[in-house]
Amino acid sequence: MLLIEKLGSMKTKNLILQGFILLWCSATYAQEILSSEEVIKLALEHNYGIKIANNLAEVAENNSDFLNSGYLPSLTGNAGATIDRQDAEGQLANGDIRVAEGAETRRYNASLNLNYVLFDGLGRLYNYKRLKEQYQLSELEARETIETTITQLFSIYYTVAQLSENIDVLEQTLVISKDRLTRAEYQFDYGQNTKLGVLNAEVDINNDSINLINTQQQLQNAKRDLNVVLGNQISYNFKVDTDLKFLLQLNKDELFKKAKFNNVTLLQAEKNITISEFDVKTSRAQFLPTIGLQGSYGWNESTNNSPLAFVLQNTTTGVSGGLNLTWNLFDGGTTITRNKNAKINLEIQKLQKEQIELDVERNFNNAWEDYENKLTVLEKQEENIITSTNNFERTQEKFKIGQVNSIEFRQAQLNLINAELSRNQAKYQAKIAELEVLRLSGDLLNVEF
């Protein structure tokens, strides 16, 4: 009778456990699968850093427009009116004296003035070209922001994926540990085991539960981090795709050639050199004269009701125009100093590019070796999984027939857990290393994730 009750208790516990598993599976299947393509799309649309970079690029585009080039003339309109009221006394040639009390004079004027620079030493031409280069530089800066954000995005995305797979491992571990506790209690009740085996199983269950709870908390934190990068556009009830695609056909030499011509940091350095060259030309243009065209059309009218005035009303209209030449022959050496500093800044930009070239080459080689190393580690971890699984399955069978004690069983279980967790870590670290290689080669935005 006791055996029947014990078997009934075991069945009840198993049914309860299976019910929890079914409920968890139902909740899991209800979760949205957030693919890598979807997170990229959300980041490009809603990430605040990318939005700011795009707005700055738009400002630079506005600055590079022809309306900001200085080639168009300026046209201003002026208008005014004045009223004077005065008391005046005057003596005529015949000796008569006339007095004007409260004599009122009114004056009205309006004009259109045109100013146009015909020649300024080509300064505005170089400045206009400089603004075009500045716009292209801002686009490169926006691209750098996008590449950095995508790298950060997938670092968090793969952290979520890794933690999700870790939770699967830990939940399976907890199921095995609970089954071991049930078996230990059964063996203790029938004198086949000591109380120590039950206590060890309970301790291991508690440790497995704690590890699971901590990992679940880490997963929630990682999901919040991912949501921040995506501009808070998703709910927290989502899963990520854990199937990875490695671009194993990557060729180091081809990627390094791309890095020399398409690395965003190098391209920015080249743009800074071009901008500095235009700065030198612009400062040199200040040594030349400026020739300007001026023109105006004006209308003036004045009325005077004073008895002393010879003309009661006067109206004039007319057009005027002219050329002017301005030549700054000497400004105390300011222009000379500015030109010297522009040349020095150009030399600095060239030196910085040479330094960046060395940095890019070093970083690329480091990233490539890191990528190859992580692929090798992943391969070894996959092999380790096979070995640990075989070892655990054999140990489990021996444990069931009493040929292995609980400590040996637990050690085999821990070996399998560590192997699976290490494999998960190696898998996602290898993918992140691959993305870093693509980022340095300037090819990150051209691949499918």
8 A C-beta contact, residue 39 and residue 157 = yes
Looking at the chain, how many residues does it have? Answer: 449
Task: Please determine, for residue 18, whether its predicted confidence score (pLDDT) is greater than 60.
Answer: no
Of residues 134, 441, 442, the one with CA closest to residue 272? 134
343: which residues sit within 8 A by CB, 6+ positions away?
A: 280
* Amino acid at residue number 261: F
Alpha carbons 437 and 66: distance in angstroms, whole number? 40
Contact assessment for residue 353 and residue 269, using Cβ atoms and an 8 Å cutoff: yes
Q: Between the CA of residue 381 and those of 78, 348, 372, 419, 449, what are the distances in Å?
A: 82, 48, 14, 7, 23
Query: What is the C-alpha to C-alpha distance for residues 424 and 221, in angstroms, rounded to an integer?
Result: 18
The per-residue pLDDT for range 160-179, each reduced to its tens digit, is 999 999 999 999 999 999 99
The Cβ of residue 245 has, within 10 Å, a number of other Cβ atoms equal to 12
102, 239, 247, 446 from 250: Cα distances, Å: 95, 29, 6, 13
Q: Which is higher by pLDDT, 16 or 275?
A: 275
Per-residue confidence (pLDDT) for residue 187, from 0 to 100: 81
Residues forming a β-bridge with 86: 103
Decide if pLDDT at 29 tops 90.
no
DSSP letters, 285-341, are HTTS-EEEEEEEEEEEEEEE--TT-S-SEEEEEEEEEEEEEE----STTHHHHHHHH
How far apart are alpha carbons 268 and 138 in whole angstroms? 9
CA distance 108 to 116: 27
Determine the Cα–Cα distance for residues 391 and 37; give it in Å rounded to an integer. 39
Among 259-268, 355-364, 400-409, name the one with the lowest average pLDDT: 400-409
Is residue 104's pLDDT more than 90?
no
pLDDT of 309 reads 53
**Residue 404 vs residues 179, 190, 196, 396: alpha-carbon distances, Å:** 16, 18, 15, 8
Q: How many CB atoms lie within 10 A of CB 174?
A: 18
pLDDT at position 114: 95
First to last CA, the chain: 61
The b/e string for 130-153 (b: 16+ C-beta within 10 A; e otherwise) is bbbbbbbbbbbbbbbbbbbbbebb
Largest CA distance in the chain: 153
Instruction: Dump pLDDT digits (tens) for 257-274.
Output: 999 999 999 999 999 999
Mean pLDDT of 222-249: 89
Residue with tokens 């259109």: 112
pLDDT of residue 21: 43
pLDDT digits (tens, 9 = 90+) for 69-101: 999 999 999 999 998 877 666 666 676 676 666
